[in-house]
Amino acid sequence: MRTKSLTARRLLDLFIRTLAFASSIIGIIFLIWILWDVALRGFSAMDWNFFTRRTGPFTIEETGMANGIVGTLYITVLATLLGVPIGLLAGIYLSEFGRTHPLSTSVRFFSNILMGTPSILIGVFVYAIIVVPLWGFSGIAGGVALAIIMLPVVARTTEDILALVPNELRESALALGSPAWKMIVQIVFRAARSGLITGVLLAIARVSGETAPLLFTAFNNSHFTYFDTGGPLQYVYDLRQPTANLTVTIFNYAMSPYERWKEQAWAGSLLITGAILFISIIARIFFSGGRTRRV
């Protein structure tokens, strides 16, 4: 069998290293370019009205995206409440109970497929099972769509993080007579706490900028949607109606022929970009501060 000379292997290694370095530099340049452009255009349109006033006709100067910001927060919180617990439980099963079970192989396989599924297909799916037969366009449908997108991310991240916890910790807890559920909650979860938080934050960042699923589910609204409960909390945000959200508002404004709306679309893009960057940085800090290693 013919082998390459040492010089040829060194040249090939140098070529691959140079190509990888150049690709990284190109990616960083484009990222900085995009962030600079968004920041430059967004800051000029971001004022007090942007955060305090709702969307309105292009003829009115004092408009903002307050309703879109509030609606996005509510939909994201709903998606987190729905998707994170189920994803954590699925990850716990894959890591702690069903490592070699045939069902685990199927769950991993379908999780990988779901992670690669275009988000617009998930939006169409929720449109078919919730929007059409039940409430129509609503913030609830939008939250369900985003929760489905979060599910596989949280599940696979939880499995990978829990797999990094040394088995000796599990064996020690079980040897002392601790039940399996208490061992997982009090020992394994504490050891993997930072990694689990990182996975949840990355899942939230993953869905924060989604537009296509919300076009088919939450739709949009130019108003705040509240209903009167008649109780101590008299007015509660109503997610049973079409709900304002930043991403769809940005899409509509960016496609419009009106300069005022296009300026606010840049401001909304800056707000979402900054929020995702902030969440990603926090996630990295958590992960670097609490990374566990298998012994």
pLDDT level of residue 4 (50, 70, 90 thresholds): low
**Phi, psi (degrees; rounded to nearest 5) at 227:** -135, 150
Query: Is residue 74 domain-resident?
Result: yes
Beta-ladder partners of 228: 235
Q: How many angstroms from the chain centroid is the CA of residue 291?
A: 21
DSSP string, the chain: -----HHHHHHHHHHHHHHHHHHHHHHHHHHHHHHHHHHHHHHHH--HHHHHS----TT-SS---HHHHHHHHHHHHHHHHHHHHHHHHHHHIIIII-SS-HHHHHHHHHHHHHHHS-HHHHHHHHIIIIIIIIISS-HHHHHHHHHHHHHHHHHHHHHHHHHTS-HHHHHHHHHTT--HHHHIIIIIHHHTHHHHHHHHHHHHHHHHT--HHHHHTT---SS--EEE-SSSS-EEE-TTS----HHHHHHHHHHSS-HHHHHHHHHHHHHHHHHHHHHHHHHHHHHHHS-----
Query: For residue 295, what pLDDT is reported?
Result: 36
Query: Is residue 98 domain-resident?
Result: yes
Instruction: Tell me the pTM.
Output: 0.84
Query: Is residue 44 domain-resident?
Result: no
Number of domains in the chain: 1
pLDDT in tens, 198-232: 888 888 888 888 888 999 998 888 877 776 555 55
* Burial degree of 204 (CB within 10 A; 0-12, 13-18, 19+): buried
pLDDT in tens, 231-265: 555 556 778 888 888 998 898 888 888 888 888 89
Query: Is residue 14 domain-resident?
Result: no
pLDDT in tens, 82-115: 999 999 999 888 888 877 777 888 888 888 888 8
What does pLDDT average to over the chain? 84
Query: Is residue 213 domain-resident?
Result: yes
Domain assignment of residue 237, given as a range: 66-224+232-289
Query: For residue 292, what pLDDT is reported?
Result: 44
CATH number of the domain enclosing 210: 1.10.3720.10
Which residues, other chains included, contact 186 with Cβ-Cβ below 8 Å and sequence gap of 6+? 173, 178
**Stretch 121-141: mean pLDDT:** 90
Which whole-number Å values give the CA distances from 144 to 103, 179, 244, in the listed order? 25, 34, 16
Query: Is residue 53 domain-resident?
Result: no
Query: Is residue 257 domain-resident?
Result: yes
**Stretch 262-287: mean pLDDT:** 85
Query: Is residue 12 domain-resident?
Result: no
**Stretch 281-294: mean pLDDT:** 63
Residue 81 has pLDDT above 80, yes or no: yes
pLDDT level of residue 127 (50, 70, 90 thresholds): very high
Could you tell me if 258 and 280 are in contact, meaning their C-beta atoms sit under 8 angstroms apart?
no
Nearest CA to 55 out of 206, 274, 251 is that of 251
45-70 burial code (b ≥16 CB/10 A, e <16): bbeebbeebbbeeeeeeebbbbbbbb
